[in-house]
Structure 1
Amino acid sequence: MTATVVGISGGSCSGKSTLTQLLFEALGPDQCVILPQDDYFFGLGDAPQGKGGPNFDHPNAVDFENLCEQLAQLKNGQAIDRPLYDFPTHMPKAETRRTESRPVILVDGILILQHRPLRELLDLSIFVECDSDTRFARRLERDVRERGRSAQSVREQFANQVGPMHDLHVEPSKSHADIVINSQQCQSHYEQPLRLILSKISVQNQ
């Protein structure tokens, strides 16, 4: 039996990773595994021609070929050695992480619904929407605290890359979602969406 793949997308700091974690906790580690898009970034200066670069919100920054290949392996019950990414250095880590397949695979990332080959591997797709001001405030707090960024660099990146790429690539991908959730209305609890998503996963697994 193949695994059920659930894609959770949305803008940067929209709340998609919170929803992903809540789904993981509800299903449990024996039934579920998370595959983050962020671990499949090409490194700065370490990417094929025309790929990677300083704009990490552009689809070319993501190694979708490897992501799709490894997701297909997990979906078919095979274990993978997935890459790990180091945000402070903008480079993949030297080590990988052995990841076993589970009945449910959660794929979390801002660009996963705009990439057609990846979409075709999803059994259920979710888009978490959130207004730009809220996403910026969350990103400012996160990047300064967790990723060693200065407040000024976060502002500049959001204005020059995150915002424009969201409008160009992320927001239009919402049209491919089976379920659209507004994280501000949920207030980070996601009680009703969680019940809906878990019921749909249960149907997929029957």
Structure 2
Amino acid sequence: MTIIGIAGGTGSGKTTVVKKIVKALPPHYVAVVPLDSYYNDTSDMTEEERHAINFDHPDAFDWKLLIKQINDLKSGNAIEQPTYSYLDCNRLKETVHVEPKPVIIIEGIMTLLNKKLRDMMDMKIFVDTDSDERLIRNIQRDVVERGRTVDMVVDRYLKVLKPMHEQFIEPTKRYADLIIPQGGENLTGIDILCKYIEGIVPKD
């Protein structure tokens, strides 16, 4: 099994990079584990308390559960991956059944932050995209998918996303084996990555 970690700021294009990797491989060879599925369970909190959580801080994630489930996959065991609602700011009852695959992709803003998780990876990738571009993508996504206004998104970006990115996410770029600029618009980086992955996939 090969474990690949893909990190980068919110709106950097991580999901696009993951889709390109998945497309380059046979469907049965890859499983994607999103870091966003592993926000802490906040069922014991009030709605007001949940909405006050800084979801761009490392403490917002259930690292223990994520590391355990990646270890389970490495051991050949299927997992029940949690799911999370951005609207409710809480973990849902539903889970996603994930079978172990030859290639496991862990994707999220702070995927390279936790050392225990990082040490499990065979390849570490950072998607490095201009901050203005990331802000535009955040506005487009949050207004459509999460019911926020433009003013809300910009205010959150300035007060939370930008400082958290500079403090926690940007520094993890130094751990990357491969840096992909501008969300994969530079196809050279994607091509190198896909060639590497194709080389580790057993031929039928």
What is the TM-score normalised by the length of structure 2? 0.90
Q: Which whole-Å deviations, capped at 9, do the CAs of 1:128-171 have from their partners, x for residues lacking one?
A: 10111110010011011111222222111111111000000000
Q: 1:125 and 1:76 mapped to 2: Cα distance?
A: 21
From 184, 193, 197, give the equivalent of 2:193.
Answer: 197
- 1:164-175 equivalences under 5 Å are 164-175=163-174
Aligned runs of 1:20-59 on 2, under 5 Å? Answer: 20-44=18-42, 46=44, 54-59=53-58
What amino acid is the match of 1:192? T
Corresponding letter in the other structure for 2:37: D
> Tell me, which stretches of 5 or more residues in structure 1 are unaligned?
none
State the AA in 2 paired with 1:195.
D
Bigger mean CA deviation after superposition, 193-202 or 168-177: 193-202
Q: Partner residue of 1:5?
A: 3
The number of residues matched between the two structures is 197
AA in 1 matched with 2:197: I
SS in structure 2 of the partner of residue 13 of structure 1: coil
- The aligned residue for residue 156 of structure 1 is 155
Root-mean-square deviation (CA, aligned residues, Å) is 1.8
Letter in structure 2 aligned against 1:193: G
| Aligned residues with identical type, % of pairs | 36
Q: Which amino acid aligns with 1:126?
A: I
Q: Is the 1:57–1:162 Cα contact (8 Å) retained in structure 2?
A: yes
1:160/1:200 CA distance change after superposition, 3 Å: same
| Unmatched 5+ stretches in structure 2 | none
Q: Following TM superposition, by how much is the alpha carbon of 1:115 offset from its aligned partner in structure 2, in angstroms?
A: 0.8
Q: Is the 8 A contact 1:44 1:54 kept in 2?
A: no
Task: Verify: 1:122 aligned to 2:121, yes or no.
Answer: yes
Report SS of the residue matched to 2:87: coil
Q: TM-score, normalised by structure 1?
A: 0.89
